[in-house]
């Protein structure tokens, strides 16, 4: 309540997806604080290990996490944890997921297969998630239903097309996730395929 001495409810959200899909960009675009970033330059050590097909111009990578915060209402604060996208850092996802109420899976239509690991991660743990297709310039544009079909998502899974650089678009994705989580809490059978 406004004017209350009670602290707002704080909830943890994961921002996941493959390498180079825009996780760091999303956290930076929406965070009301300067985000914590653990980005390092790509080096020769990653050649042959990291799949950079489709993101050859990328020069940095998240090696641990991105962290940001957004106040949705006076009573609700989201803490955002961006996961590293490269497979060699996936071991951190389990620790980052502890206490998370939900997640956002970022998708690049040029590299849909890079999103499968994140979708599987949330499904296997029963963590509610939404899919957010980052609209990169020059990438193919597909309908939400085409993307839902390609990712084998049920009709109840929210799918959004957005630009991870736009604060308002990021906010809309996060609000959709909160609504999706609340719907699952009130009707736990709603996620049964």
Per residue in 133-143, pLDDT (tens digit) is 998 776 768 88
Q: Which residues contact 43 (CB under 8 A, 6 or more apart)?
A: none
Phi, psi (rounded to 5 degrees) for 105: -100, 115
Q: What is the model's pLDDT at position 47?
A: 56
Task: Summarize pLDDT for 84-123 with one digit per residue, the tens.
Answer: 877 767 778 899 899 999 999 999 887 888 889 999 999 9
Average pLDDT over residues 175-189: 85
Q: How confident is the model over 166-188, as a mean pLDDT?
A: 90
Please tell me the predicted confidence (pLDDT) of residue 6.
76
**Is the model more confident about 136 or about 10?**
10
pLDDT higher than threshold 80 for residue 176: yes
Angle of CA points 132, 29, 40, to nearest 5°? 95
Judged against a pLDDT cut of 70, whether residue 56 lies above it is answered with no
Complete domains list, the chain, with CATH: 9-191 (3.40.50.300)
Angle between helices 23-30 and 167-186 (to 10 degrees): 100
Give me the chain's average pLDDT, please. Answer: 83
Query: How far is Cα 64 from Cα 163, in angstroms, rounded to an integer?
Result: 23
**Confidence class for position 72, pLDDT limits 50, 70, 90:** confident
Mean pLDDT value across residues 131-160: 88
Q: Rounded distance, CA 97 to CA 95, Å?
A: 5
3-state secondary structure of 121: helix
The span from the CA of 47 to the CA of 26, in Å, is 26
Between CA 131 and CA 134 the distance in angstroms is: 10
β-strands 159-162, 9-17 pairing: unpaired
């Amino acid at each position: 309540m406004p004017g209350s001495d009670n602290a707002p409810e704080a909830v943890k959200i994961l921002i996941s997806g493959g390498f180079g899909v825009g996780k760091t960009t999303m956290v930076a675009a929406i965070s009301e604080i300067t985000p914590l970033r653990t980005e390092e330059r790509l080096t020769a050590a990653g050649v042959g290990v990291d799949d950079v097909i489709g993101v050859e111009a990328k020069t940095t990578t998240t090696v641990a996490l991105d962290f940001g915060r957004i106040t949705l209402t006076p009573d609700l604060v989201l803490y955002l944890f961006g996961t590293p996208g490269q497979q060699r850092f996936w071991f951190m996802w389990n620790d980052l997921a502890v206490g998370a109420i939900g997640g956002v899976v970022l998708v690049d239509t040029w590299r849909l297969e890079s999103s499968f690991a994140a979708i599987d991660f949330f499904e296997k743990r029963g963590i509610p998630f939404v899919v957010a297709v980052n609209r990169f310039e020059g990438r193919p544009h597909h309908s939400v239903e085409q993307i839902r079909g390609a990712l084998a998502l049920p009709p109840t899974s929210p799918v959004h097309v957005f630009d991870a650089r736009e604060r308002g678009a990021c906010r809309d994705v996060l609000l959709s996730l909160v609504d999706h989580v609340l719907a699952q809490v009130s009707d736990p059978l709603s996620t049964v395929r």
